[in-house]
């Protein structure tokens, strides 16, 4: 005697919910990764206490301890720095940049870049790390 079940179990698996989760994770990681902008130039930033860190400028001037200058991770000779910054920021509505100077950088190198910002009336920010 052969017994047959009235309700058969369906062995198929729906991937719709799994793809929804994958797409949500993908969107989350895309948004969070674009908010973080790390430079490839390794410098030790000075420490400061700040309750409200400001928004990072799109252009960054990095000054290494040995006095080398980098604009957005591209090394620029000191003699060409001002011209390069002017060309980089000429189409920006409110031109500004951030100085990332090593904590052991000579004061004159930082003042040189600050002088460029002053002479062209650029807004300026100086990057630091938070004190613990």
Provide the residue-wise pLDDT of the chain in tens; the chain has 132 residues.
Answer: 676 767 777 777 778 888 999 999 999 888 877 666 666 666 666 666 665 555 555 788 899 989 899 988 889 998 999 999 888 888 888 888 888 888 888 889 999 999 998 998 888 888 877 766
Task: Tell which CATH architecture fits domain 47-130.
Answer: 2-Layer Sandwich (3.30)
pTM for the model = 0.58
Q: Residue 60 belongs to what H/E stretch? A: strand 60-63
pLDDT for position 26: 92
Query: CB neighbours of 122 closer than 8 A, spacing ≥ 6?
Result: 85, 89, 95, 96, 97, 116
pLDDT for position 55: 52
């Amino acid at each position: 005697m052969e017994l047959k079940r009235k309700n058969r179990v369906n062995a198929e698996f729906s991937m719709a919910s799994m793809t929804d989760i994958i797409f949500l994770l993908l969107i989350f990681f895309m948004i969070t990764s674009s908010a973080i902008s790390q430079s490839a130039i390794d410098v030790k930033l000075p420490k400061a206490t700040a309750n409200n860190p400001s928004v990072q400028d799109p252009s960054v001037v990095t000054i290494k301890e040995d006095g080398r200058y980098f604009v957005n991770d591209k090394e620029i000779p000191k003699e060409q720095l001002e011209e390069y910054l002017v060309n980089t920021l000429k189409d920006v509505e409110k031109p500004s940049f951030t100085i990332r100077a090593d904590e052991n950088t000579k004061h004159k190198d930082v003042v040189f870049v600050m002088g460029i910002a002053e002479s062209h009336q650029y807004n300026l920010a100086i990057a630091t790390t938070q004190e613990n």
